[in-house]
Structure 1
Amino acid sequence: MSDATERTESPEPERPVGEASTSAAQEPDPVQGEVSRRVRVVLVDDHRMFRTGVQAEIGQTARTGVDVVGEAADVDQAVSVITATRPEVVLLDVHLPGGGGVEVLRRCAPLAADAERPVRFLALSVSDAAEDVIGVIRGGARGYVTKTITGTDLVDSIFRVRDGDAVFSPRLAGFVLDAFASTDAPPVDEDLDRLTQREREVLRLIARGYAYKEVGKQLFISVKTVESHVSAVLRKLQLSNRHELTRWAAARRLV
């Protein structure tokens, strides 16, 4: 691996995690050498391109101390890989085929409860919806950060979760505080419960005014798949168009 060269220009601004870079800034510091701390991580996300970007951003162990020991794209794969590798931290997407991040947490609960070698979970998701945050935290995750986080901050969050801290993107912490400050369970929204996790994600972006193409880009799915999800949402909620959908979502504070 080549040494980093001395630079006099302004440093390159950090990118959201998942946007890989070949910049020399990712090389180990030739003065400090390799980092001494290490953490074993499993990456769970159903988008292969995103996993590749995260791996490129944080997986250079000599520089970051993060050793990505496994990856998974759905619930069954995640449980299998986590059980086999026993990582210290799992980066867990909220919306996964097979039941979502909450199902992974449920099935891996004995590993998380292991007093000697606990597996800790940090949610990493495009969603910043209160119900998603509260759901995975109640399921056992130690923190929740969104995919706009930089690589440097994500590495720091991984180590903090490994050490037992709770970590949240700034605005998300309020959701958790509000939820656990209340002694009353949140009311069940039967209409919302009819939707799959992916349909909720599409609903939220459409209600925020995203075009179908923009939704597809955000979720790494085709425009045709977006259209299919929107049609399913409208049918299940008995709505006629995206304007009614937006009003429906706004009334439930989903946007």
Structure 2
Amino acid sequence: MSEPATPHFRVVVVDDHSMVRTGVRTELAAQAPDIEVVGEADDVPSAVAAVRALAPDVVLLDVHLPGGNGGGGVEVLAGCAGLPTRFLALSVSDASEDVVGVIRAGARGYVTKAITPAELADAVRRVAGGDAVFSPRLAGFVLDSFGTGAADVATTDGELDRLSAREQEVMRLIARGYSYREVAGELFISIKTVETHVSAVLRKLQLSSRYELTRWAAARRLI
């Protein structure tokens, strides 16, 4: 019997520093044979052109880019609106305005360049699969990305009542961008148990993905 095919994820790296692009390409090649860097870009126009021409699964996008009309990463997202490609911001900046800007523009997540190669590879896979990914300490900025008013308390309480206390703990950590492994370590439970709780949370809240869960929790100021 033949081995099942390894999922293959195509990535474009957008950064105005060639050393960063080379480093990301090299580290992903070493860490993740299932991830292929198929293109690079160093400014807004070349980024939009590369994404449209190559149709990658994921774009690793710096938020501060030259060219275009000064919009940086947000302008790239606007230029690629309607495409199936998913975007993960990868930046040295941890400023709330940068996080909020690219999330509002359509990015699936935001991680800083302090991330390890293995964590970056995992983030690419998760974003390609439809999840939201954030460096944990940046997750609070997501609150500002989805409206400014608090949700109706009765509605929120009613929805939370569907979840057990442990499911609520798992929900908050997942919504903050923690991986299953990180949640397991935080709560001293197995990864399999985390998966079971996440499935139950999504089912009870009638959500289809971790990305929707992050939006749901952020809108209700639960993270």
TM > 0.5 between the two?
yes
Query: Does the 8 A contact of 1:35 with 1:64 survive in 2?
Result: no
Q: Does 1:53 align with 2:23?
A: yes
Secondary structure of the structure 2 residue equivalent to 1:64: coil
**Alpha-carbon distance in 2 for matches of 1:59, 1:177:** 34
> How far apart are residue 59 of structure 1 and its match?
2.7
Q: Which among 39, 52, 73 is matched to residue 70 of structure 1?
A: 39
Residue matched to 2:149: 183
> How far apart are residue 178 of structure 1 and its match?
4.1
**Alpha-carbon distance in 2 for matches of 1:108, 1:133:** 18
Residue matched to 1:122: 88
**Alpha-carbon distance in 2 for matches of 1:39, 1:182:** 35
Alignment of 1:82-231 (within 5 A): 82-98=51-67, 99=70, 100-111=72-83, 118-180=84-146, 182-183=148-149
> How far apart are residue 38 of structure 1 and its match?
1.2
**Alpha-carbon distance in 1 for matches of 2:144, 2:73:** 22
AA at the equivalent of 1:141 = A
Residue matched to 1:200: none
**Alpha-carbon distance in 1 for matches of 2:136, 2:110:** 10
Query: Does the 8 A contact of 1:35 with 1:65 survive in 2?
Result: no
> How far apart are residue 130 of structure 1 and its match?
0.2
Scaled by the length of structure 2, the TM-score of the pair is: 0.61
Residue matched to 2:178: none
Query: Which of the two has greater helix per residue?
Result: 2
**Alpha-carbon distance in 1 for matches of 2:47, 2:4:** 30
**Alpha-carbon distance in 2 for matches of 1:181, 1:172:** 17
> How far apart are residue 177 of structure 1 and its match?
1.9
Q: How many residues are aligned here?
A: 145
Residue matched to 1:41: 11
Query: Does the 8 A contact of 1:60 with 1:66 survive in 2?
Result: no
Percent identity between the two aligned chains: 63
Secondary structure of the structure 2 residue equivalent to 1:165: coil
**Alpha-carbon distance in 2 for matches of 1:56, 1:162:** 20
Alignment of 1:228-239 (within 5 A): none
Residues 169 and 34 of structure 1, relative CA distance in 2, 3 Å threshold: farther
Query: Does the 8 A contact of 2:15 with 2:42 survive in 1?
Result: yes
AA at the equivalent of 1:83 = R
**Alpha-carbon distance in 2 for matches of 1:80, 1:183:** 38
Structure 2 residue runs of 5 or longer lacking an equivalent are: 151-223
> How far apart are residue 180 of structure 1 and its match?
2.3
AA at the equivalent of 1:108 = C
**Alpha-carbon distance in 2 for matches of 1:123, 1:105:** 10
Residue matched to 2:175: none
> How far apart are residue 64 of structure 1 and its match?
3.2
Secondary structure of the structure 1 residue equivalent to 2:40: strand
**Alpha-carbon distance in 1 for matches of 2:123, 2:56:** 15
Q: CA RMSD in A?
A: 2.1
Q: Which protein has the larger Cα radius of gyration, Structure 1 or Structure 2?
A: 1
> How far apart are residue 34 of structure 1 and its match?
11
Scaled by the length of structure 1, the TM-score of the pair is: 0.54
Structure 1 residue runs of 5 or longer lacking an equivalent are: 1-32, 112-117, 185-255
Residues 34 and 153 of structure 1, relative CA distance in 2, 3 Å threshold: farther
Residues 34 and 125 of structure 1, relative CA distance in 2, 3 Å threshold: farther
